[in-house]
Amino acid sequence: MSTSTTEPVIYGSCYCQKTTYATTAPLYGLTYCYCRMCRLLHGSPFAAFTNVDSSHFQWTRSDRLVEINLSEYATRTICGECRSPMTMVYHAKPNEVGIVAVTVDESKSKDKVPEKVGAHIFLECKPAWFVIPEDGESGVWGFWRG
């Protein structure tokens, strides 16, 4: 993994590009979350998150940014214009920003979203019709490992 710099290495945005961010450090980890809240908010059988230390994350355009607290565990952000989910910060991990992986613009970024899934979480909530890819990672029936 490369080290942090003062120059952005990752750029990302929502669908309408009215909410944008940059990071000055590479992303780490890739987690697929199957909790019902993530599935409904993302309109998908799971939500993919990658992480960066909060000291290396900066909103570059945030006038449409909306913070939402749908549970006692985390604060999420969405674009107030197009409603794209953007980030999630667990209250237990305030120094880590969980970035919705699909918001990363890899065509503009010097680095990419990690390719290997590190964890599948909240498997007890997974829809029966969805088959988890065989990526060699074991799943977790609750919160994250570690």
For 45-76, what is each residue's pLDDT tens digit?
999 999 999 999 999 999 999 999 999 999 99
Under the banding of pLDDT at 50, 70 and 90, the label for residue 90 is: very high
Strand order through the sheet with 57-61: 10-13, 20-23, 57-61
Give 144's pLDDT tier (boundaries 50, 70, 90): very low
According to DSSP, the residues that pair with 22 across neighbouring strands are: 11, 58
Across the range 5-16, mean pLDDT stands at: 93
Query: Residue 111 has which token pair?
Result: 């680095």
For the segment 96-107, the average pLDDT, to the nearest whole number, is 98
| Beta pairing, strands 96-100 & 119-121 | unpaired
Asked if pLDDT for residue 135 goes beyond 70, the answer is: no
CA distance 20 to 131: 33
pLDDT value of residue 13? 98
**Per CATH, domain 10-125 is 3.30.420.10:** no
Tokens matching residue 23: 């990071």
Whole-model pTM over 0.85: yes
C-alpha 28/C-alpha 33 separation (Å) is 16
- For residue 125, report the phi and psi dihedrals to the nearest 5 degrees: -100, -5
Q: Which amino acid is at 109?
A: S
Longest dimension (CA), the chain: 45
Residue ranges covered by each domain of the chain: 10-125
Residue pair 21/15 in contact by the 8 Å Cβ criterion: no
pLDDT above 90 coverage of the chain, percent: 79
